[in-house]
Amino acid sequence: MTNEYRLNLSKKNLPELRELYDRQKAIIENKSLVAKLKDKGESVRALCDKIEKEIQHRNDVESLDLSLSNLKIADARTELDKHAKYVCSKDSQVEDSRYRPHRTLIPNERKSLDHSPKKPIEVSSAFEPYLCHKPTQCVSLPESLEIQQQHSRKITEERTKKFLERLRVYEDSDSESEGEPQVEDEDDGDNLIGVNTF
């Protein structure tokens, strides 16, 4: 059973190919090693020739690439003759004026009829919900503290307003019930219960 190792030279880069070529040349120059080989160094010489051809091909490609990169296209355009200009001017002016019975004369009118308002999509895991609020904004820490303080002030104002309304309603209901005797407390008049001041 022969174990042949095939070397793919196209996958190697140029420095690797040169190093491999130098190694093969060193093997060929070693006469005692070549004499011990079965084929007397024929496979080594064939591989060396293949490597040399691949290196030559790569050098040719690089020189061609370099010469093409130095090639420049002239910026000055050649002027077209008068007949070609005339043909191009007539060709661009052709309009499609065919009458099509299945189309309206005003295409925008048809589009406006087709665009009905979208049906609301039911919010579920299959669809993302529509944005009903503004997207999140980045706020600095001092601005955030100021916003929180304003918000807490508004909340306390609303709570005091609601408490005062309930208190008035309670006092009005007490004054309407004249049949019951009213007992006055001996406190200083600080009967505001439930008002939180932050």
Nearest Cα to 21, choosing from 5, 151, 29? 29
Q: Domain-by-domain residue ranges, the chain?
A: 9-70, 140-175
Average pLDDT, the chain: 76
pLDDT of the residue at 156 = 97
pLDDT at 165: 94
pLDDT per position as a tens digit, 68-110 = 887 776 655 556 677 777 877 776 665 666 666 666 666 665 5
pLDDT band at 1 (very low <50, low <70, confident <90, very high): very low
Tally of helices (H runs) and strands (E runs) in the chain: 6, 0
Structure confidence at residue 12 (pLDDT) = 84
- CA dist 139 → 146, 151, 152, 154 (Å): 11, 15, 18, 20
Q: Give the H/E segment covering residue 134.
A: none
One-letter amino acid at 88 equals C
Please give the Cα distance from 159 to 168 (Å, whole number).
14
The encoded tokens of residue 4 equal 């042949």
- Tell me the per-residue pLDDT of 106-160, one tens digit each, with 9 for 90 and over: 666 555 555 555 666 666 777 776 777 777 888 899 999 999 999 999 999 999 9
Burial class (CB in 10 A: 0-12, 13-18, 19+), 27: middle
Question: 43, 4 in Cβ contact below 8 A?
Answer: no
Provide the residue type at 134 as one letter.
Answer: K
pTM of the model: 0.35
Which of 63, 79, 60, 81 has the alpha carbon at shortest distance from 71?
A: 63
Best mean pLDDT range from 87-91, 170-174, 184-188: 170-174
- pLDDT confidence of residue 196: 54
